[in-house]
Structure formats: structure tokens, C-alpha cells
């Protein structure tokens, strides 16, 4: 397998390094290009299921969605329906953590994209003040804020 080299690292690293220099037009362009990539996947009936800023690489200022290890074709059955163990809790929609047997879908990716928009606009990951296990606990007992 041959992959394109991403010369600017992950979106998380890119924002950490460049956030104060980025204009809103740059942030909107990044968000729009990620949205187009997600739309392309969904048009092909593929859900990513693990979308977060470390799974988006930046090459010549262009975001590239990567790491399709948890991705599924929407017609494909999967044993990994409840993703407490799989993925980053900050980017996983609450239903996935609360409902046993919940199947991630296009909406799951859209929720994750919303969390990425937070990160693009604020310069920091969502719920960054919480440890992952604390966030999971607060979500399960309906305290997520």
C-alpha cells in the first residue's frame, strides 16, 4: 500500500501549531473540506465510526480523512456495535455509550464532525478538561455538559 505523505501531521497537531495564525476563512475551508470528505464516504454508504482530529491528516494545508480501521459499509454487519472501547469518547455520540447494542451510523459521523468543528473553532479538543473514563461515566449517568 502506498500512501500520500502528510507533511503537516494530524489536524490536532496542525491546530496546536498554527491556531493563532489561522484566519476564520482558513478554519472554514478546513471544515468544509472535511465535510466534503465525509459526504463522499456517506454517498458510498461508508461510515467512518472513529472520526476525530487525530484521524485527519493535513497535507499542504488540505485535510485528509484517514484510519478506516473501524469503518463499515452500511450494509455490513459488525460485532463492534457499542463502541465504548473503540474510538475517542470525546468524539463518540452519547447514545453509543448509553444504549447497549447501539449501531453507529451516518449520524455518528456527523456528531463526531460537530466535535471537530468545536476543535477547529476553539483550538482545543472537546471536553479536554475531563479524563476519558470520567467523561464516559458522566455520559452514562447523564451528566455530560
Which residues are part of the catalytic machinery? 50
- The whole-angstrom separation of Cα 139 and Cα 89 is 9
For 99, the 3-state DSSP assignment is coil
- The whole-angstrom separation of Cα 3 and Cα 26 is 25
Q: Which of 70, 81, 102, 91 lies closest to 135 in space, CA to CA?
A: 91
- The whole-angstrom separation of Cα 118 and Cα 106 is 19
Amino acid at each position: 500500500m502506498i500512501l500520500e505523505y502528510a507533511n503537516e501531521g494530524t489536524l490536532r497537531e496542525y491546530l496546536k501549531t498554527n491556531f493563532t495564525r489561522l484566519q476564520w476563512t482558513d478554519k472554514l475551508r478546513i471544515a468544509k473540506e472535511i465535510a466534503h470528505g465525509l459526504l463522499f464516504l456517506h454517498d458510498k454508504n461508508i461510515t467512518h465510526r472513529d472520526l476525530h482530529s487525530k484521524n485527519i491528516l493535513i497535507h499542504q494545508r488540505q485535510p485528509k480523512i484517514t484510519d478506516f480501521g473501524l469503518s463499515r459499509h452500511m450494509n455490513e454487519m459488525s460485532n463492534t456495535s457499542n463502541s465504548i472501547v473503540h474510538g475517542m469518547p470525546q468524539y463518540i455520540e452519547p447514545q453509543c455509550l448509553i444504549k447497549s447494542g447501539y449501531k453507529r451510523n451516518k449520524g455518528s459521523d456527523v456528531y463526531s464532525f460537530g466535535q471537530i468543528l468545536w476543535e477547529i473553532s476553539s483550538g482545543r479538543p472537546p471536553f479536554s478538561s475531563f479524563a476519558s473514563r470520567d467523561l464516559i461515566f458522566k455520559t452514562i449517568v447523564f451528566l455530560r455538559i
